[in-house]
Amino acid sequence: MAGDVQSRMAVFLFTDIVDSTAIQNRLGTDAYLRLLARHDALYREAVVAAHGGRIVEKTGDGFLTELASPSDAVNAALHFQASLRRSTSSAIPSCPWAT
């Protein structure tokens, strides 16, 4: 029965901190872990703001997230990027992702 078939689109957003090992080596483990914790908190806030996003997996220095639509994924990514820049540029001038 063709009328019984349901389809669903899934949109995935993957994030990763580029060269995180080198960043950790440069900043030291304690400073890096503080930055990573802030990074993770801001990402989680962006996903919540994306109306129904769901973190599928934490990858250590990134996330795999399922969102309801492409626009939700774009909005989450933009929200996250803006939050990172606001949060780290003034508090931690040497933060590698604040530039």
Instruction: Tell whether 2 is covered by a domain.
Output: no
Instruction: Tell whether 1 is covered by a domain.
Output: no
The type of residue at 66 is: E
Instruction: Tell whether 4 is covered by a domain.
Output: no
Per DSSP (E only), the strands in 1-99 are 11-16, 54-58, 62-67
Instruction: Tell whether 96 is covered by a domain.
Output: no
Which residue range forms the structural domain that includes residue 36?
10-90
Q: Which residues contact 15 (CB under 8 A, 6 or more apart)?
A: 43, 62, 63, 65, 80
Write down the pTM of the prediction: 0.80
Q: What angle do CA 83, 55, 60 make, to 5 degrees?
A: 75
d(CA 83, CA 28) in angstroms, rounded, equals: 23
Instruction: Tell whether 50 is covered by a domain.
Output: yes
Domain count, the chain: 1
Q: What's the pLDDT tens digit per position in 45-81? A: 999 998 878 999 999 999 999 999 999 999 999 999 9
CATH number of the domain where residue 66 is located: 3.30.70.1230
